[in-house]
Amino acid sequence: MSLKEFEEQGVVEKLGFTFEVESDHHDWDLAVDGIATMTKRLKTWQMVQ
């Protein structure tokens, strides 16, 4: 399951998970965003080289 699917299906709310799961969800979201940002920056950097 991707992060997008996880969010669209409302897994945390639907299943009544705890704060720890919600916290893990935010960590997952930050990681996905960070990877996308770094991928963009690396591509830009490679074009400059």
Tens of each residue's pLDDT in the chain, 49 residues: 888 898 899 888 888 877 788 888 899 999 999 999 999 999 999 888 7
The answer to whether 17 touches 11, Cβ cutoff 8 Å, is yes
Domain extents in the chain:
3-48
| 3-state SS string for 1-49 | CCHHHHHHCCHHHHHCCCHHHHHHHHHHHHHHHHHHHHHHHHHHHHHHC
- Token readout for 2 is 């991707």
pLDDT of residue 30: 95
pLDDT of residue 3: 83
pTM more than 0.85: no
Distance of CA 4 to the CA centre of its chain: 8
Q: Which residue has the tokens 């705890």?
A: 18
